[in-house]
Copies of this chain bind each other. A is one copy, B any other.
Amino acid sequence: MTENRLERRKARTRAALVRAAQEFIANGRLNAPILEITQSADVGMGSFYNHFESKEDLFQAALENALDTFGQVLDDLTGGIDDPAHVFAQSFRLTGRMHRRLPELSKVLLHNGFEFTKSGRGLAHRARRDIDAALAAGRFTVADPELALVIAAGSVLALGQLLHAEPERDDAAATDQIAEDLLRMLGVPADEAREISRRPLPDLDA
Contacts and interface: CB of A to CB of B under 8 A. Distances in A.
A118 interface: yes
Interface stretch (A38-46, A62-70, A108-116): A108-116
Contact of A181 (B118, B142, B156, B160): B142
Contact of A177 (B111, B144, B156, B178): B144
Interface centre among A144, A158, A159, A162 (most CB of B within 10 A): A158
A146 interface: yes
A114 B111 CA distance: 9
B147 A177 contact: yes
**Copies of this protein, total:** 2
A161 B30 contact: no
Interface residues of A, number: 35
A155 interface: yes
A129 to B, nearest CB: 17
A53 B110 CA distance: 27
Contacts of A19: none
A144 B157 CA distance: 18
Contact of A155 (B110, B111, B154): B154
B155 A159 contact: no
Contacts of A110: 113-114
B185 A118 contact: no
Contact of A151 (B143, B161, B181): B181
Interface in A91-144: 110-114, 117-118, 142-144
A174 interface: yes
A153 interface: yes
Given A150-B174, A154-B158, 12 more contacts: A30-B31, A113-B114, A113-B157, A114-B161, A144-B177, A146-B162, A147-B178, A150-B155, A150-B158, A150-B162, A154-B155, A154-B159
